[in-house]
Every structure is written in structure tokens, then in C-alpha cells.
A = this chain, B = another copy of it.
Amino acid sequence: MRVALLVHETFPERAKTAVGLLRYGDDEVVAVLDRTTAGERVRDHVPDAPDAPIVASMADVSEPVDALVVGVAPIGGDFDETWRPDIRAALERGCDVVAGLHSFLADDDEFARLASEHGCDIRDVRRPPDDLTVADGTAGDVDATVVLTVGTDCSSGKMTTSYELVRAARERGVDAAIVPTGQTAIMIEGWGIAVDRVVSDFAAGAVERMVEKRAADHDLLVVEGQGALAHPAYSGVTTSILHGAAPDRLVCCHAAGREAVHGYEHVPIPPLEEYVALYERVAAPVSPAEVVAGAVNTAALGGRETGERAAGADGTVPEADGTAAEATARAAVEEFGATIDAPATDPVRFGVDPILDAVLEGHL
């Protein structure tokens, strides 16, 4: 499929979905729509992803496009009216539109009419199935090994770590698969449930259903975590995933240098060793699981672009480049590992192998 990504004024730092699709998706990205960086190219910002031009609007995309994908995930998931002309233009030329917003584009009168007139689809991937139920508390019974990525905050690397883990496991011959719980992974996988959009009574049940479905076909499941346990707004989602997935092992993701909850600067992130223990304590009564490894996102420490994946596309770890930034990042990884008393790495900068080793040890 040939797609365009709408990321106005957010690329790449606040366009998590677009960067995830560029890096892990199978679709061909023919253009990125960002009125701020128009004229530049994807490789200027995300060097390890396939390149594409950045343009200001859908009118500047001359190639055929199968779908326009909204690649922004704003807090609250609201639609931004400044996106309307591009979505209108896409539908008018027969493009499908894919979005993961809380507000559903298919419920917009104009968009629904245009889609109908031009024979195209609007896919709101955050729309939950209508037959969800409460959890049975049975996900712990599956035969597959279930790993959950948890975090010390939102945007700490849970999705990236999950994908790097699955890719590396497959390279070692392990039949691994992701359990997608958020919009980006759902777009990449073509299935999944956006747990944060589910009625809260059914959130754990939604995760349980996905784990039980996926476990029948794979040996290792990596459940993509959401939010954080000490997050003032999203902790309920996190807890529902932790108990609904009933994981065997946890991987804790942390953004190096972050000291307060992103967007909630009055809420400090707890001391990391306590935070890891808190995840284990909350998991224990339903399904005991230890944090067996840590993933540190060291992008904020410099030395690489936000989107850069220094580890090669084949999963090999690059030679040390001896820069000061690399040394700082290495120190941050070692400090995190020592603090949580578990192997740690930056899966993007240094490769995911230490995490995979810990995840597989004694399993599979």
C-alpha cells in the first residue's frame, strides 16, 4: 500500500505514530505532510527509515496514494480542524483515510459523505470492538511466554522496545509476535485493540482476549504497554494491561534524563528502583512477574537524531564511535541497569540483545 502521513507541526518529535510506521510498517510512504518542515526530507529527521519528501499539503502529493494516515497522537486524541482540508482532499481523490484519534473521523458528517461519494474507507483504528467483556483472569494460563513492556512515563520507548524485541527474537528463530494495544501498532499489524479507548470495565478483558488469541499461534508474545503506573491520567490503562495480560516477565522502559511526568511537570517520576518494585508489587497478586531488563531511550542525551536507529536494520550493533555523546549514553544505560538491578540497553542506539537474553533466559 502507498500511504501519505499527516503530521502537521509535530514531525518528528511529537509524531510517534508516523515515526513508528516509517520504521516498522510495511507500507510505502510516498509523502509526509508537515507544513512546518515542508521542503525537507524524512532522512533529515529519521535517518534509518526509508526516505520520502516532506510537503505542506495533500495538494502537493502528485503520486498515487492509497491512504492518508493521521500520524499524530495528540494528548486527548482530539481532531485538529487544521487537518480538515488535507483529509477532504484525500477523500476527494479516492484515498482511504486511517486515523487513531479518540474522536472518530467516520462520524464526521462531511468526511462520511465524501467517503461515500468517492468510494473510499475511513478506518478509525481506535474504535473498539462492540462485544468486549470483563476479564476472566485467565491470560496467565496460556502456553506462550508473555512479556510486557512497561514504562516510567508515556513516550518512554515501550512500542519501539516491543518491536525491536520481536524483530531480534525472530532473527534468533523464536516464533515471536506483538500484541498491539495502541494506534500505531494496530496500524502496522492490521489488528489489535486500542486499550485506552475501551470502556474501563473492559480494558483488562480486551488485553486478555488479545493475549489468548495470539498465544495459540506463537511461542513468545510481546505485549505493547501503555502509559505508566504512576501517571496521573493513564495509570488505569497501565494497570488494566498489567493484570489483563498476566505477563511472565516485564521490561521497564525509561527516557534518560526525564525527571517529571511528561506534560505533568508537577508530578515527579518516582525513584527508579522503587518504580520497578511497584510494578512487581502490583503485578504479584494477579500474576507474578519480575522486571528482567531495562530499556533506556537516550535520544535526549544527544549524539543521534530523535528518530535515528544506530543499530543496523539487520539488528547488528554498530561499532562504538567513541564520541562523548555515546559515552554519556553508555553511562546512562549502565546507571539504569545498576539502579533496577537488571541488564539494560538503549535498543535503538546499542541494540536490544541484552533485553532479549534476559527475556528468553530459562524460557523457550
Contact = CB atoms under 8 A, between A and B. Distances in A.
A285 B274 CA distance: 10
Contact of A196 (B200, B233, B285): B200
A229 interface: yes
Contacts of A195: 200
A362 to B, nearest CB: 24
A235 B199 contact: no
A201 B137 contact: no
Given A76-B134, A198-B199, A199-B199, A235 B243 contact: yes
A79 to B, nearest CB: 14
A316 B75 CA distance: 50
B236 A266 contact: no
A135 interface: yes
Given A135-B232, A232-B135, A233-B137, A201 B239 contact: no
Contacts of A281: 278, 281
Interface size class of A (residues with CB under 8 A): 35 or more
Nearest to A287: B232
A102 interface: yes
Contact of A75 (B134, B231, B286): B134
A204 B229 contact: no
A237 B137 CA distance: 15
A144 interface: no
A230 interface: yes
A282 interface: yes
Interface of A: 75-77, 102, 133-137, 195-201, 203-205, 229-240, 242-244, 246, 261, 264, 266-270, 275, 278, 281-282, 284-286
Given A204-B233, A204-B236, A278-B282, 12 more contacts: A76-B134, A102-B201, A136-B233, A197-B199, A197-B201, A204-B232, A205-B233, A233-B244, A236-B237, A270-B285, A275-B285, A278-B285
